[in-house]
């Protein structure tokens, strides 16, 4: 079984994001970039399936600038077999990413496609679902447990009311949640081996997908600074401050 895992290059979660002085976007100059944490969980799960003998090949794909090779090499060091970079410097929306991934899926014909449930930069939580709609494949989102049994995959989903398990016919799409697993660290020997693993670079044009966007970013602003909270000694004092200071009641 071939498993395809989509990974995204994002600002490292430890970095405090800054807005450009002209409010045109986020300042990425000299900022540490890393693999989206949810995508890293997807890579780990695919590698575990390979270690169990369920998956025969793990392919990672990323869509972004040439520098995204760094994140793909990281995935290769973790245990993926080969990588594909759809090189594109445009600012891409979720639907465009889903269309590009569908084109890659059509070429690779994987039995299982894994994506992080969302990226920590845009937080859209859309691409996996859009890919499911475009391909017509069954999908299990917010996965906290994945079990492949024959030609089906059982996905335990985290929902508002607790947990829900769905049985999907392969090929299927799974988006990973935080509690699915804890990603491993790449060892130095595997990092060295990853440099020799195949990494194919293609373009959106070769996939027949237009990256032209119908959405324009007008302005980006940092969230307004909030004042520090205070402690009150009684319910009466709380009500008084909510009424006279906050003016919310």
Q: How confident is the model at residue 7 (pLDDT cuts 50, 70, 90)?
A: very high
Integer Cα distance of 68 and 97 in angstroms = 15
More confident residue, 113 or 241: 113
What mean pLDDT is reported for the chain? 93
95, pLDDT greater than 90: yes
Q: How confident is the model at residue 174 (pLDDT cuts 50, 70, 90)?
A: very high
- Contacting residues for 111 by C-beta, under 8 A, at least 6 apart: 1, 2, 3, 170, 171, 172
- Residue 1 is predicted with a pLDDT of 93
Query: From the CA atom positions of the chain, what is the Rg in Å?
Result: 21
Nearest to residue 217, comparing CAs of 67, 23, 10?
A: 23
Q: Cis bond leading into 19, ω under 30°?
A: no
- Residue 30 is predicted with a pLDDT of 86
Q: How confident is the model at residue 132 (pLDDT cuts 50, 70, 90)?
A: very high
- Residue 55 is predicted with a pLDDT of 94
Token pair, residue 226, equals: 């909030």
Integer Cα distance of 143 and 145 in angstroms = 6
- Residue 5 is predicted with a pLDDT of 98
- Residue 215 is predicted with a pLDDT of 84
203, pLDDT greater than 90: yes
Nearest to residue 176, comparing CAs of 118, 102, 100?
A: 118
**CATH number, domain 2-244, options 3.40.1190.20, 3.40.50.11260, 3.40.50.620, 3.90.1150.10:** 3.40.50.620
Q: How does pLDDT run across 133-172, given as a tens digit for each residue?
A: 999 999 999 999 999 988 999 999 988 888 999 999 999 9
More confident residue, 60 or 93: 60
Note whether 120 and 38 are within 8 A (CB): yes
What three-state secondary structure class fits 87? strand
Domain coordinates in residue numbering, the chain: 2-244
Integer Cα distance of 101 and 131 in angstroms = 7
Token pair, residue 172, equals: 């299927």
- Residue 47 is predicted with a pLDDT of 96
- Contacting residues for 77 by C-beta, under 8 A, at least 6 apart: 186, 187, 190, 191, 193, 194
Nearest to residue 108, comparing CAs of 84, 128, 74?
A: 84
More confident residue, 227 or 86: 86
Q: How does pLDDT run across 48-78, given as a tens digit for each residue?
A: 999 999 999 999 999 999 999 999 999 999 9
């Amino acid at each position: 079984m071939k498993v395809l895992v989509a990974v995204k290059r994002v600002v490292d979660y430890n970095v405090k994001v800054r807005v450009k002085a002209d409010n045109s976007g986020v300042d990425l100059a000299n900022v540490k970039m890393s693999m989206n944490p949810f995508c890293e969980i997807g890579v780990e799960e695919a590698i575990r399936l390979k270690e169990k003998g369920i998956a025969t090949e793990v392919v990672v794909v990323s869509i972004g600038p040439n520098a995204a090779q760094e994140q793909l090499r990281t995935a290769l060091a973790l245990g993926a077999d080969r990588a594909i970079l759809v090189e594109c410097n445009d600012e891409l929306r979720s639907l465009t990413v889903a269309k590009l991934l569908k084109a890659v899926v059509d070429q690779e014909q994987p039995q299982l496609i894994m994506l992080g449930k969302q990226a920590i930069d845009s937080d859209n939580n859309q691409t996996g679902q859009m890919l499911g709609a475009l391909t017509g494949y069954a999908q299990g989102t917010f996965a906290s447990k994945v079990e492949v049994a024959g030609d089906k995959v059982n996905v335990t989903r985290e929902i508002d009311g607790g947990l829900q398990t769905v049985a999907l016919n392969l090929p299927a799409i799974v988006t990973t949640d935080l509690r699915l697993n804890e990603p491993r660290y790449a060892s130095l020997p595997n990092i060295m081996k990853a440099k020799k693993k195949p990494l194919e670079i293609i373009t959106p044009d070769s996939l027949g997908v237009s990256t032209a966007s119908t959405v324009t970013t007008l302005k980006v602003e940092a969230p307004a600074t909030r004042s520090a909270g205070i402690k009150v000694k009684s319910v009466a004092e709380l009500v008084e401050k909510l009424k006279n200071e906050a003016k919310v009641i």
